[in-house]
Amino acid sequence: MKNKTNQSNGKVLFSQYNRGDAIKKLSGLSREDVLYELKVSKLKGRGGAGFPTSTKWMLTAAAVSQEKYLICNADEGEPGTFKDRVLLLEHSELVFDGMVVGAYTIGAKKGFVYLRGEYEYMLSSLEDFLETMRNDNLLGESICGIKGFDFDIEIRLGSGAYVCGEETALIESLEGHRGEARNRPPFPVSKGYKGKPTTVNNVETFASVVHIVMKGGEWFQKHGTDKSTGSKLFSVSGDCERPGVYELPWGTKISELLEIIGAKNTKAVQVGGASGICVNKSQFERTLAYEDCSTGGSIMVFNETRNMLHVLKNFMEFFVEESCGQCTPCRIGNTKLLEGVEMLESDEYTFAYINKLKELGKTMQIASKCGLGQSSPNSFLSILENFKDEIFNGRGGKYGK
Amino acid sequence: MENKNGLRAPVSQKPHVVPKPEDTSTIGGTVSIEINDVKYSVPLGTTILEACRENHIHIPTLCHHDDLCIAGVCRLCVVEVTGMRTLQASCAYPITAPIKIKTSTPMVRKARRHIIDLMLSEHHGECYSCVRNNNCELQALAKEYGVDCYNFGHVKESQYEIDDSSYSVVRDMDKCVLCKRCVRTCIDLQEVGVLEAINRGGETMISTFMDKQLADVICINCGQCINRCPTGALHEKDTSDDIWKAIDDHAKHVVIQTAPSPRAAIGEEFGLGAGHSMTYELNTALKRIGFDAVFDTNFTADLTIIEEGTELIIRLYKALIEKDKEVALPQFTSCSPGWVKYLEHFYPEYIPNLSSAKSPQQMFGALIKTFYADKVGVDAKDIVSVAVMPCSAKKFECNRPEMEDSGFKDVDYGLTTREMAKMIKEAGIHLPEMPKTHFDSPFGDASGAGLIFGATGGVMEAAIRTVVEFVTGNKTEDIFEKANILPLRGFEGIKYMEIPIGNNVGPVPDLIKHLVPDWNWLKGAVLKVAVAHGTANAKKIMEDIKRGGKFSECHFIEFMACPGGCIGGGGQPIPTTPEIRKKRAEAIYAEDESLEIRKSHDNPSIKKIYQEFLNEGPCSHLSHKLLHTHYKKRGRYIA
């Protein structure tokens, strides 16, 4: 099944790669060699948080345990992202080979792909792909003749909870429990799936690893910026002529991206999905990079015809529904922020109360238990700040200012 | 983390336990930290909350409870840790490296205030009409943080229907703050698993299997969730109004029995610290309230020992001498109604092992409406029989259809310690200042053996005091100093003990002479007993018995549904902590030691009732009719 969206193939992720090559290369590499190349590459997690992959793998590799697990986070649930879908459907070899490299490096015998429930349609083709790998000894026992290197992959389906993209909630779900984030520490690298050291990485991270193994960390880090190396897949949607998945080097300016995708009369760009930030025209020269506008890949473009309050309401409704409901700031906080948006909509607000909500948003960012609650106020805060003229212009609310 | 019965322990809420080093003087045994710019050294693995408490730095908490695993969900205990972008929940953060902590920065204070404001915005109900008024953790926090307005509004309409279907526990979800203490109590502490969160986000709520009413699920009525609820979302079903009505009705003869555990704890409701026994002050207060007679449940606790002990002897005799394969051993105690219901749901195949003897409360009920009614010449239908119990499950027990052997409801009302305190306060009585009064005749005072029923291991200790003397003819004091059987005391989850009978046996006491000819068949035998408190521990023993392990070899096992036994019952004053339960137990053991009569069979009233009323002896026809009962197989998932 092919994707119908537009695609641009960049120089890193979509560069030449033959199925199984990275795995075959492992016989000549020690796990330290892989970790070294990763370290040199400065690869950071592609899910959005940007944790250095070499550190995560090193910690899992160093953890003392007979049992370790590797998990591929394919619960692509952030509104506006669909790049993992492209990778899984059209470049499965990058993802699965990357997982095998990961298993070799950290010493895992079992790996999981936690596949977004809505991607059930690709399950059988992915299973077929894994079967082919088993037949070719790219999975199973003594992979590629490397003695003692046994590893297999199981695909599990999620059930539609956004929070299960958070790695500890994902692990809970994988264990058969209610999807709720765990307390950290401990981090999964020391106590993850079934309490054993576990590495959880995004689909795209594994795909990047394959190229680093083949072409070296040095080569990889030449792409992108100093702090954001390599390239990134962007899922572009919204008001533009060519929505789709684009591989671009980190450091690309928002204005450059808008040019490429044919966006006209753009008023706002939501970078990083519902949990990301919303920038206005004055910020279009900012760059897409961990150090500036960080994103897991979602880019939503809004043109002049869009009502930003409506956009914001949509995001907040999403969070009210998707909060797992365990911690107070996220569970009730998001409801309060949504109520605030509704007050703005109906003109029944006071500036004093909106300011209270902004302060509440800041508390949510630092006091929530997991990334969901910590990032859910981002759009509220950034839209109210960056589009205050539109939202408040001439509207003091029924109760004055 | 799934255990054998498929019940899940919520691992997300399991604490990250870093094993604390045994010897903190070794390198790496302690960590140097700074709290609010002051240096401290704490054992590796100490949580930030523990470190602060240890050093008298107050951190507000809500979802945290000393008895429960860590959740880290309310976020009230957040603190700043230097170098971290977000605030950290101090209850869930184990210290493994030198860190700098700030517990009261503007950011921290603002976050805490926000969290309280958010909770209040969804907390429906008025403090003055709440059962937990003045003993509510949310109310206290609002005061602590100077809440003088509802910053984010306040829900004005009730969102949920109150579930008062159960005889014991009422759920008022309007007051729930989703701290999940009840969930952790039910799943982790008790391993019953009735309560769990359902839905997501703003729709999240605590619910039951298929959202059924509490009466229709496998709730064992232990009330441990009530004891740990920070607000009034969970409370017992209050029947004090019915009792006032009965007292005010002069045609009714209202009697009350008091159990030892409420007496050891009710002082806490009147501002006393834990561990003050109020037995005789309570008698005065109850008489002043208007009860016609006050009896000591310990009397029927003594009776339970005789009946249950005799039953054990009969079972042993049948199994060992008559080689009867039908006899179920080990025999299980049956005085904890929470435990009984737990067994009926989870291990119904072991119902034959339960002693058929009723609990002391129910024995008393049956005697009051027969023996006592005759004695004082009151028509049993005019008697209203009340029991003050540390227990919410006793409310369910007295409503069991099996409990009408006197021809009426044997016990009309089970009152919790909390309800009793409320009635006393309502009557304008300050309990600690009451003069002391003895219990009313004809039952009079009871033995120390009945008294110690209140603490885990107490029933077994009382039983052994009697069995040892019955069988060997020696004094218990000859074997155990001051007749204190220490291996059965304390709060270890499961206790096990072997008592060798030896080769010298005594004559069979007159009371049970008609049942066994002599004790020769017990010569050289070793009596094996065990004690478990809290259903999670009970489950361990039951699973071991199923596997044919060590506990299947036992002869007699005491089970109590509540952690700590009755002194930690679901009807006891709130809060409950291991420390408080320890003090209540100490009060009970101290009172026992102060008594002259400390063995059930030495109680003259017991001797008298077997002469005057139950004159065919223990486990006879009449005693079976009034003092014994049967049980019911219940579902594993629904009631």
Domain ranges of chain A: 11-221, 231-303, 308-392
Chain A: residue whose CA lies nearest to B81: A366
Verify whether the Cβ–Cβ distance A369 to B200 is below 8 Å. no
CATH topology (fold) of A11-221: Rossmann fold (3.40.50)
CA of B231, closest CA in chain A: separation in Å?
A: 15
Q: How far, in Å, CA of A213 to CA of B518, rounded? A: 85
Q: Which pLDDT score is estimated for B3?
A: 37
CA of B5, closest CA in chain A: separation in Å?
A: 15
Q: Would you call A241 an interface residue with chain B, using a CB distance cutoff of 8 Å?
A: no
From chain A, the residues in CB contact with B184 under 8 A are none
Q: Which of A199, A202, A274 is nearest to A233 (CA)?
A: A202
Q: Say if A11-221 and A231-303 have the same CATH topology.
A: no
Q: Which residue has the tokens 């005057």?
A: B612
How many residue contacts between A and B have a Cβ separation below 8 Å? 139
Q: Which pLDDT score is estimated for A6?
A: 67
Q: Which pLDDT score is estimated for A288?
A: 96
Chain A: residue whose CA lies nearest to B84: A366
CB-CB contact of B90 with B49 (8 Å): yes
From chain B, the residues in CB contact with A355 under 8 A are none
What's the order of all strands across the beta sheet hosting B30-35? B38-43, B30-35, B100-102, B78-81, B88-89
Q: Which pLDDT score is estimated for A392?
A: 87
CATH topology (fold) of A231-303: Ubiquitin-like (UB roll) (3.10.20)
CATH of A308-392, one of 3.40.50.300, 1.20.1440.230, 3.40.640.10, 1.20.120.430: 1.20.1440.230
Query: Which residues of chain B are under the pLDDT cut of 50?
Result: 1-16
Count Cβ atoms within 10 A of the Cβ of residue B297 and give its class: 0-12 exposed, 13-18 middle, 19 or more buried: buried
Q: Would you call B204 an interface residue with chain A, using a CB distance cutoff of 8 Å?
A: yes
Q: How far, in Å, CA of B266 to CA of B242, rounded? A: 21
Query: Which residues of chain A are under the pLDDT cut of 70?
Result: 1-6, 8, 394-401
Structure tokens belonging to residue B28: 């790496």
Q: Would you call B230 an interface residue with chain A, using a CB distance cutoff of 8 Å?
A: no
Rg over alpha carbons for chain B, rounded to the nearest Å, is 26
What phi, psi does B510 have (nearest 5°)? -55, -40
Q: Would you call B11 an interface residue with chain A, using a CB distance cutoff of 8 Å?
A: yes
Domains (range + CATH), chain B: 11-104 (3.10.20.740), 115-236 (3.30.70.20), 240-299+361-433 (3.40.50.1780), 314-356+454-627 (3.40.950.10)
Chain A: residue whose CA lies nearest to B95: A185
Chain B: residue whose CA lies nearest to A325: B201
Q: Would you call B610 an interface residue with chain A, using a CB distance cutoff of 8 Å?
A: no
Q: Which pLDDT score is estimated for B387?
A: 98
Given A195, A331, A363, which is nearest B204 (Cβ)? A331
Given B1, B12, B75, which is nearest A180 (Cβ)? B12
Q: Would you call A1 an interface residue with chain B, using a CB distance cutoff of 8 Å?
A: no
For the segment A212-270, what is each residue's pLDDT rounded down to a tens digit?
999 999 999 999 999 999 999 999 999 999 999 999 999 999 999 999 999 999 999 99
Verify whether the Cβ–Cβ distance A325 to B72 is below 8 Å. no
Q: How far, in Å, CA of B240 to CA of B246, rounded? A: 10
CB-CB contact of B454 with B299 (8 Å): no
Q: How far, in Å, CA of A399 to CA of B96, rounded? A: 52
Verify whether the Cβ–Cβ distance A334 to B201 is below 8 Å. yes
Verify whether the Cβ–Cβ distance B93 to A185 is below 8 Å. yes
Q: Would you call B79 an interface residue with chain A, using a CB distance cutoff of 8 Å?
A: no
Q: Would you call A186 an interface residue with chain B, using a CB distance cutoff of 8 Å?
A: yes
CB-CB contact of B72 with B91 (8 Å): yes
Verify whether the Cβ–Cβ distance A185 to B75 is below 8 Å. no
For the segment A45-78, what is each residue's pLDDT rounded down to a tens digit?
998 889 999 999 999 999 999 999 999 999 999 9
First to last CA, chain A: 56
Residue B384: enclosing H or E segment and its boundaries? Answer: strand B383-389
Q: How far, in Å, CA of B331 to CA of B315, rounded? A: 8
Q: Which pLDDT score is estimated for A252?
A: 95
CA of A219, closest CA in chain B: separation in Å?
A: 32
Chain B: residue whose CA lies nearest to A171: B12
Verify whether the Cβ–Cβ distance A328 to B78 is below 8 Å. no
Q: Which pLDDT score is estimated for B10?
A: 44
> What mean pLDDT value characterizes chain A?
94
CA torsion sign for A303, A308, A311, A312 is positive
Residue A110: enclosing H or E segment and its boundaries? Answer: strand A110-115
Q: Which of B162, B144, B148, B160 is nearest to B77 (CA)?
A: B144
From chain B, the residues in CB contact with A329 under 8 A are 75, 111, 114-115, 118
Given A334, A360, A374, which is nearest B114 (Cβ)? A360
Q: Which of A187, A315, A332 to mutate to test the interface with B (most CBs of B within 10 A)?
A: A332
From chain B, the residues in CB contact with A175 under 8 A are 1, 11
Active site residues of B: 308, 311, 335, 355, 394, 397, 402, 566
Q: Which of B13, B49, B149, B152 to mutate to test the interface with A (most CBs of A within 10 A)?
A: B152
Count Cβ atoms within 10 A of the Cβ of residue B577 and give its class: 0-12 exposed, 13-18 middle, 19 or more buried: middle
Helix, strand, or coil (residue B336): coil
CA of B86, closest CA in chain A: separation in Å?
A: 4
Verify whether the Cβ–Cβ distance B202 to A323 is below 8 Å. yes
From chain A, the residues in CB contact with B115 under 8 A are 328-329, 363, 367
| ipTM score above 0.85 | yes
Verify whether the Cβ–Cβ distance B200 to A335 is below 8 Å. no
Helix, strand, or coil (residue A52): strand
